[in-house]
Amino acid sequence: MALFQINEPGETPAPHARRYAVGIDLGTTNSLVAIVRNGFAETLPDESGRHLLPSVVRYLKDDIVVGDAALAAAAEDPFNTISSVKRFMGRGVEDVRHLGKTLPYEFVASESKMPRLRTVAGEYSPVEISAEILKTLKRRAEKTLAAVIDDAVITVPAYFDEAQRQATKDAARLAGLNVLRLLNEPTAAAIAYGLDKNPEGIYVVYDLGGGTFDVSILRLNRGVFEVMATAGDSALGGDDMDRAIAAWIMQQADIRDDADQRQLRRLLRAARAAKETLTIAMRASIVVERNGGDAWHGELTREQLHALVDSLIEKTLAPCRRALRDAELKLQDIQGVVLVGGATRMPLVRERVQKFFDREPLVDIDPDKVVTVGAALQADVLVGNRRGNDMLLLDVIPLSLGLEVMGGMVEKILPRNSPIPAARAQDFTTFKDGQTALLIHVLQGERELITDCRSLARFELRGIPPMPAGGARIRVTFQVDADGLLSVSAREQTTGVESNVVVKPSYGLTDAEIERMLRESIAHAHEDESARRLRETQVDAERLITAVQAALYADGDTLLSKPERTDIEMAIAQLRHLRDGNEPRPIQDGIRALDEVSREFAERRMNAGIRRALAGHRLNEFEASSKD
């Protein structure tokens, strides 16, 4: 390259010298992506300046639409427009039936028991749908930064179990992202506030999003973020408030309970709009088109809204009490309460939280963006852009992990709220004389009976030497990594025979499904490789254009004749035109052309820089210095 960019000591070099990693909040209602630039975390907007990406995917026969355009079509094309897919992540068909007819989708069972949603373009799992949202955020970041993005920290609700966490990682994998870490949303919020304000003490993070509620209690002290306790409800959020308002509209507008899905989508859209209006106004006008062609006009007051959603907000306080009890804390031990999630904009939520904790909550950072900001800060640390180990995260296991023992009981190995990463072992023995094999059943939950807990995995340990009952010593080890994913191993101590399992959640993608998706990616490998090569060439072109333009601005008037400057500007214009093409070779030719025409200019700049450095000095000064 002809031009050199010379930086002052301590300044950040060219953008491409920095390794970028993004933070992503894969939300139920909206998703965001953020990056750290010049030491500050910022969320990235789309071409229209919108930071929030609606978590909505619409499938057409020959296209996939994500975001605002998909949301706008939800009422008219409800069967092919998927929203709130986060609620289905890591769950089976039976798990989502409680949502009943409010869901306009047709679910299809698959080999993995994960629900698949039938659309005009085919059947898709929640993992595949979420991957489309992640791909859109990835493209947004790459376009904004003019860089290829591979690494990300993705946030998840603290109460997500193994199945839901694994499903999130699968979605990122399909989107072409390497997950540096799955970060609990409340912890991400604490990072955002902690690094901005450096608080010390015990804080509560109250996170009420579109589809999930989490409360976490964290001890913050000199860069150490320790999660003391966490609780919540993975099926409670702003979407439930929308449904309560929609039910009220149906009653007021005399809309039958068996309304079709288009009508229900229109109701939900009107309900959400009214809820958002009432965060800043006392009254909201509502207009809903009915199937007969006429429209119902009505009004909802803030007082009426509060009456409709009060019971839902009350449900969030029980986990708050449980978290305080688990952390063995009293209300006076809490130094502050951080609000996270769009639903916390509602005045009643803030009032109830303030009354419960007896202190005004912190809302300095946009509650929609705070989680993404924290994720971006953590991503910046994990890729080594920050010097030193200036942050330590101590997340916890949200639910206890254990084994089935005789009598259908659960022996807890890793209790809930254990800090992760974690590893713990416990010795077991055989029940019968001469027993040579052992079935190990891994469970998750707080109840004492296996029927009340969730089965995670089963595996067998064979080759145990025949011994009297109780003679064998079998050590079972549980290991949970930083993402909250579990592996279990069993080893017979006298012989060394061993077996293990990496827990594959009941509703995660099966190996066959992942293989199918990977086969599809291999089938399109040439196209994908070409697309990446094109993108990298476009990035190189953008960097060169930026560098040459900066040089022209600084020294163009003094070091170039008018014809020379015109030639360079024409080469820039030509490369900018080529950059938007679909083939890398013409762009490469344009890069070489601009490089060639600006080479003499680069040499003049370098010579001018040397002359400035020598100004005021004599040659013998440098000769003497070299002799020393």
Residue written as token pair 């890729």: 383
**Interval 504-515 mean pLDDT:** 49
Q: In sequence order, which residues have a C-beta less than 8 Å from that of residue 563 and are 6 or more positions away?
A: none
401, β-bridge pairs: 414, 444
**Interval 331-339 mean pLDDT:** 91
Residue 231 has which token pair?
């609780």
Q: Is position 170 annotated as part of the catalytic site? A: no
205, β-bridge pairs: 216, 338
pLDDT at 555 over 70: yes
Catalytic residue among 132, 161, 162, 207: 207
Q: From 163, 233, 176, 214, select the one nearest 24 (Cα to Cα).
A: 176
Residues of the chain with pLDDT > 70, as a percent, come to 83
Q: What angle do CA 60, 511, 482 make, to 5 degrees?
A: 100
Per-residue pLDDT, 620: 63
488, β-bridge pairs: 478, 501
pTM: 0.66
H or E segment and range at residue 521 = helix 511-523
Per-residue pLDDT, 285: 92
Q: Is position 390 annotated as part of the catalytic site? A: no
Per-residue pLDDT, 196: 43
Catalytic residue among 77, 86, 492, 540: 86
pLDDT at 539 over 80: no
Residue written as token pair 């416990």: 426
Q: Is position 358 annotated as part of the catalytic site? A: no
pLDDT at 465 over 90: no
Most confident range (mean pLDDT) of 127-141, 336-350, 571-585 is 127-141
Residues of the chain with pLDDT > 90, as a percent, come to 30
Per-residue pLDDT, 495: 81
**Interval 592-600 mean pLDDT:** 91
pLDDT at 1 over 60: no
Give the C-alpha separation, 1 to 598, whole Å.
Answer: 9
Amino acid at 405: V
**Residue 219 — very low, low, confident or very high, per pLDDT cuts 50/70/90?**
confident
pLDDT at 529 over 50: yes
**Residue 512 — very low, low, confident or very high, per pLDDT cuts 50/70/90?**
low
The SS3 of residue 550 is helix
First-to-last C-alpha distance (Å) of the chain: 35
Give the C-alpha separation, 327 to 621, whole Å.
Answer: 69
Catalytic residue among 95, 185, 240, 542: 185
**Residue 157 — very low, low, confident or very high, per pLDDT cuts 50/70/90?**
confident
126 preceded by cis ω (within 30°)? no
Distance of CA 579 to the CA centre of its chain: 31
300, β-bridge pairs: 284
**Residue 590 — very low, low, confident or very high, per pLDDT cuts 50/70/90?**
very high
**Residue 10 — very low, low, confident or very high, per pLDDT cuts 50/70/90?**
very low
Per-residue pLDDT, 618: 64
Catalytic residue among 25, 132, 380, 395: 25
Residue written as token pair 């109460």: 159
What is the average pLDDT value for the chain, to the nearest integer?
82
Q: Under a CB-based contact definition with an 8 Å cutoff, are residues 339 and 203 in contact?
A: no
Per-residue pLDDT, 11: 39
- What residue ranges define each of the domains in the chain, with the CATH number in brackets? 15-237+310-393 (3.30.420.40), 238-309 (3.90.640.10), 397-513 (2.60.34.10), 530-614 (1.20.1270.10)
Q: Is 622 left (phi over 0), alpha (psi -120 to 50) or beta?
A: alpha
Question: Would you tell me how many other CB atoms lie within 10 Å of the CB of residue 154?
Answer: 30
**Interval 495-507 mean pLDDT:** 70
Per-residue pLDDT, 195: 46
**Residue 627 — very low, low, confident or very high, per pLDDT cuts 50/70/90?**
low
Q: Under a CB-based contact definition with an 8 Å cutoff, are residues 121 and 80 in contact?
A: yes
**Interval 490-517 mean pLDDT:** 65
Residue written as token pair 């109701």: 267
pLDDT at 293 over 90: no
Q: From 205, 209, 195, select the one nearest 229 (Cα to Cα).
A: 205
pLDDT higher at 443 or 520: 443
Q: Is position 25 annotated as part of the catalytic site? A: yes
pLDDT at 4 over 50: no
Which has the minimum average pLDDT: 11-15, 132-136, 485-489, 592-596?
11-15
Per-residue pLDDT, 224: 67
Beta strands in 125-262 (DSSP E): 151-156, 178-184, 201-208, 213-221, 224-233
Amino acid at 296: W
CA distances, 207 to each of 91, 230, 231, 349, 416 (Å)? 21, 11, 11, 11, 19
pLDDT at 132 over 90: yes
**Residue 206 — very low, low, confident or very high, per pLDDT cuts 50/70/90?**
very high
Q: From 46, 35, 86, select the one nearest 69 (Cα to Cα).
A: 46
Residue 216 has which token pair?
């976490």
pLDDT at 514 over 60: no
Per-residue pLDDT, 436: 85
Count of all residues that appear for the chain in the document: 628
Q: Under a CB-based contact definition with an 8 Å cutoff, are residues 33 and 142 in contact?
A: no
> Each residue of 362-415: pLDDT tens digit?
888 889 999 999 999 989 888 877 654 455 565 667 678 888 877 677 888 988
